[in-house]
Structure 1
Amino acid sequence: MRFRLPWWVLPALLALALRLAATLTLRPWHDEYFTAWAAGLPWSELLAALRWDSGPPLPYLLAKLLSLAGIPALVAARGLSVAAGVLATLFVGLAARRWVSASAGPWASWLFALHPLAVMWAAEGRAYGLLSLAVAWSLWVLGEQEAQGRRWLGLAAALGFGLYTHALGLVWLLAVLAYGVLARRTAVLWASGAAVLSFLPWFFVMLQQPPEAVAWMASSLRDVPAWARWLGPLRLLPPLSGWAYTLEAPAVSGSWQLIAAVVSLVCLALARG
C-alpha cells in the first residue's frame, strides 16, 4: 500500500518555513523590544510594568518562562509566535473540515500558511500569533462541540487563552457568545461565561491601564479611507493582501487585491462541494 502524508503535513511545513524565514530576516520593532525588556524583569516588576501596557499578560509571561531556560527573551517571544502560527495553520484546516467540508480543510490551511498577514503575525514577538492560534483553536473546538456534543471546557480554555493573549480576544469572545445566543447553544454560553470569569482578575487591571497606551489605534483607524474599512475583511482574505509590505515584499494594487479576494472566495466555495 502506498504511503500518503496526512493532509495537514505539507501546509504545516510550508507555514513553518515561511514563518521561520520571516522571523529570521525581519528587523525587530520597538514593541518587540518592549516584550523582550518586560520578559527580562523579575516577576513582581513584570506584573507592575504590564499595568502601564495596553494588553493582557500571557505573551510576556510565556516569554519570561522561556527566558528562564536561558533563551534570549526576543528569541523566546518570536519562537512562541512561530510555533503559534504553525499550530494555527493546523487548527484553521481542522475548523474548516468541521464547519465547511472535508475538502475545505487543506484549502484553508494552505491559504492561512501563505497569507502575508498571518506570516507577519507569527514572525514578530508580540501577541498576534498567539491570538490567531486562540481564534483557530476555539473555532475547531466549537465545531467539534457542534458535531459530537462534547462538553464546553475545551471551548472555555480556548476563549480564555484568547482573552489573556490580546484585548481583541474580548471581541472574539463576544462573537462566539452571539453565536451561542442566536443558535441557542447552552454549552457555548457556559464556555463563554467560564472564560469571562477566568479573565476577571486581569480585566480590572485593564480598566486601570492608561488610555494613551491604545491611542494609536484610533489614530490609525482615522487614517484608513472609509471604503477600505468596509472592504477590509474581503481585501485581507487572499495572499495578495495589502499586508505584504509588512514583510518587506511588494504589495499589489487594491483592484488586484479585490480580484484575488473573489478568486479566494470561489476556491472556498468549490472546496465546500
Structure 2
Amino acid sequence: MRRHPASSGTTPKRAWLPIGLGSLLRLVQIWMPVLGVHSWRQADTAAMARHFSLAGTPIWLPQVDWSGASAGFVESEFPLYPFLVSRLYSLIGVQEWLGRGLSVLCSALTIWLVMRLGRRWFSPEAGWWAGLAFAIAPLGVYFGRAFQAEALLLLCAAGALESLSLWRERRLPWTLALSWVCFTSAGLIKVIPLLWLGLPLLMVQLSSNPQGQAPPLQTLPRRVLRLLGHPGFWLYIGTSLMAIAGWYWHAHQLGQTSGLSFGFWGSGTDRSSISLLLDLNGWINLLLRVSLRLLALVGVPFLLIGLKASWRSGGGQITISSLVGVLLCTIATMRSSTIHEYYQLPLLLFSSPLIGLGWQTWHQQRPRWQPRLLLSLALVVSLTVLSLDYWAVEHRQREAWMPLALTIRRDLPSDARIVSVTSTDPTLLNLARRQGWLISSKQLTPERLQRWKQAGASHLAGSFVWDKTYRPMPQRRQQLLREMVEASPHAWVDSHSQTYLIPIDDLQPRR
C-alpha cells in the first residue's frame, strides 16, 4: 500500500478538532423536548423508546402512541435505535436528552470514520478536511442530534465501509464479521441502504488499491465474475438479506394484526412516479436543499474539484459509485426524498471525502487568508441555517405545545387515552406521554366523539392556531374550535400558547 509523506498527515491533536467541533455543534439545545423540524418522525421514535422502557416489551414488539385503545404494536423498521435509548432510560428514567445524546455519540464516531475513509481513499489531509466538512454541515448537525435513527444509520454505513476495507487489506476475520453486522444493521434500520451502501461496498471488493490508480474499466466484467464465483460473497449477501427479509416479514405480520403501520408496502405507498421524476421544480428544490443545507454552499465548488481530481483513482470509483447509488435511491423514492430531507443524509457521507480532496487540491499555494475566509464563511452559513431553520423552530414549538403537554402529564392519569387534534402528527401525544387517537379538526363529529368515549377516551387536546405542530390552522376552523371550547364548562385553555384540553363529556361539536 502506498505511503503518504508525513507532511501530508495530521497529528492526533488535530484529528480531534473536527470531532470536537462537530460534537459541540450537535450539543446545542440537546435538552429540548422532541419538537421542531420532522418532530412527527422523532416523536414516533421517542414513543417506541418510552414504551420499551416502561412496558418492558422485547425489541421485536415496537409500540406507538397513535394506537387508539389498543396496545399500539406497529409495523416498522427494526427499532434498534429506540431500543438502545430505552436501555439508557433504565438507568435514570425517561429523559429524552439521552436519545439525543446517543445520536451525538453516533455522529461523533461517524466523523472519525469519515476521516479514516477520506484518508484511505485519497490522503490523510483530504481525510481531515472531509471530517471537518461532515462536522459542520447543517443537515448533518441537526440530524446528528435528532431523536431518530439517522445518526446510527450513517455510523453503521461508515463502519461497514471501513471494516470491509480493513478486511481487504489484512484479511482479519473479525473485520469481515463487523462489516456484515454494520451492513445488515443499516438494512434493518432502513431498507434503501441496500442500494446506496451496497454499491460502494461492491466497489471496495472490486478495487485492488483505493489509494492508487483505478483498475481499467475494461477489466471490470472480469473482476465482477471472479467475485460472483466466490462462495464468501454469496454467504455475506445471502445471510444479510435473509436477516433483513425476516424482520420485515415479521413487521408486516405485526402490522396486519394491529392495523398500525408506517406504510412501507402496497400500492398506497406512492413513493415515486413518472410525473414526479419529470417535475423540474422538484429537482431544483432538491439541488438547492443539498447545496445549502448539506454542503453549506461553500462545499459545492470543492465537491466538483474533488470529483475531477478523483476520477481515475480507486477511491474515486468508490465515492462516485456511492453518489450513483444515492441518486438511484432518490429516483426510487422521489416523493419521500422531496418531503423528508433526511433522505439526503447519505450523500453527506460520500461527498465529504470528495470535498476534502477538493479542498486539498485547491488550497495548496493559496495565500493563507483565502482558506481562512472560506472556512469562516462555511461556518457562518452553517450556523445561520441551523439558527433560522432548526433551532428557532424548536423554541417556537416548545412555547406553543409544552404548556398543554405538561398539563396533561400533571392532571391526567398515566393510562388516560386522549384524542389529539393534530391531524396525522403524533408530536403532542409523545410530549404528553399518553396514547390515544389522532384526528384533524375538520373531522370532529358527534359520531366520532361517541365512539372515542366508548373506547375509553377521556379528553380532547389541541391548538386553536396549529392544525399540526408545524402547520397553521385555517381561520374558519379556529373559530369553530373556539366556540366548542367556550361551550365546555370544564375546559382548560392556555391563552399564551392558544391550546386547550377538554373533557369529552363536555363536547357538543358543530357540524
The verdict on a shared fold, with TM-score over 0.5 as the criterion, is: yes
Identity of aligned residues (%): 22
Query: In terms of mean alpha carbon deviation, does 119-128 or 27-36 score higher?
Result: 27-36
Query: In terms of mean alpha carbon deviation, does 108-117 or 183-192 score higher?
Result: 183-192
Post-superposition offset of 1:142: 2.4
Aligned position for 1:17: 24
Query: In terms of mean alpha carbon deviation, does 40-49 or 126-135 score higher?
Result: 40-49
2:105 to 62, 78, 83: 83
Post-superposition offset of 1:269: 3.6
1:271 to 342, 360, 384: 360
Matched-pair contact (CA < 8 Å) for 1:177–1:188: no
CA offset digits 1:92-134 (Å, max 9, x no partner): 1111111222222101100100111111211211011111111
1:35 to 13, 37, 45: 45
Q: Distance in 2 between matches of 1:66 and 1:106?
A: 32
In structure 2, give the amino acid aligned to 1:16: S
Written as runs of structure 1 = structure 2, the 5 A alignment for 1:122-271 is 122-151=144-173, 152-176=176-200, 178-179=202-203, 180=205, 183-184=223-224, 185=227, 186=230, 189-208=234-253, 209=255, 213-214=263-264, 218=271, 222=276, 225-226=279-280, 229=283, 232=286, 236=290, 241-242=292-293, 257=297, 260-266=299-305, 268-269=357-358, 271=360
Q: 1:227 to 1:8 in 2, by over 3 A?
A: farther
Q: Distance in 2 between matches of 1:190 and 1:9?
A: 38
| Greater Rg by CA | 2
CA offset digits 1:210-261 (Å, max 9, x no partner): 6753578838x9499546548958973xxx52359xxxxxxx8xxxx4x741
CA offset digits 1:162-206 (Å, max 9, x no partner): 123233333345325643576545555543333333334312124
Count of residues paired in the alignment: 255
Q: Distance in 1 between matches of 2:85 and 2:278?
A: 33
Q: 1:216 to 1:93 in 2, by over 3 A?
A: farther
Q: Which has the higher strand share?
A: 2
Post-superposition offset of 1:73: 4.8
Matched-pair contact (CA < 8 Å) for 2:75–2:262: no
Q: Distance in 1 between matches of 2:32 and 2:200?
A: 36
Matched-pair contact (CA < 8 Å) for 1:85–1:130: yes
In structure 2, give the amino acid aligned to 1:77: G
In structure 1, give the amino acid aligned to 2:263: A
Matched-pair contact (CA < 8 Å) for 1:22–1:123: no
In structure 2, give the amino acid aligned to 1:30: W
Q: 1:233 to 1:211 in 2, by over 3 A?
A: farther
Matched-pair contact (CA < 8 Å) for 1:22–1:120: no
In structure 2, give the amino acid aligned to 1:193: G
The answer to whether the aligner puts 1:49 opposite 2:71 as a matched pair is no
Post-superposition offset of 1:77: 1.8
Q: Distance in 1 between matches of 2:159 and 2:147?
A: 20
Q: Distance in 2 between matches of 1:123 and 1:48?
A: 22
Q: TM-score, normalised by structure 1?
A: 0.75
Gaps of 5+ in 1: 245-251
In structure 2, give the amino acid aligned to 1:147: E
Q: Distance in 1 between matches of 2:153 and 2:184?
A: 11
Q: Distance in 2 between matches of 1:118 and 1:21?
A: 13
Task: Considering Cα pairs closer than 8 Å and 6+ residues apart, tell me whether 1 or 2 has the greater RCO.
Answer: 1
Q: SS of the counterpart of 2:26?
A: helix
Matched-pair contact (CA < 8 Å) for 1:173–1:192: no
Q: Distance in 2 between matches of 1:26 and 1:67?
A: 15
Aligned position for 1:248: none
Q: Distance in 2 between matches of 1:49 and 1:263?
A: 44
CA offset digits 1:6-25 (Å, max 9, x no partner): 44211110111011115346
Q: 1:27 to 1:106 in 2, by over 3 A?
A: same
Q: Which has the higher helix share?
A: 1
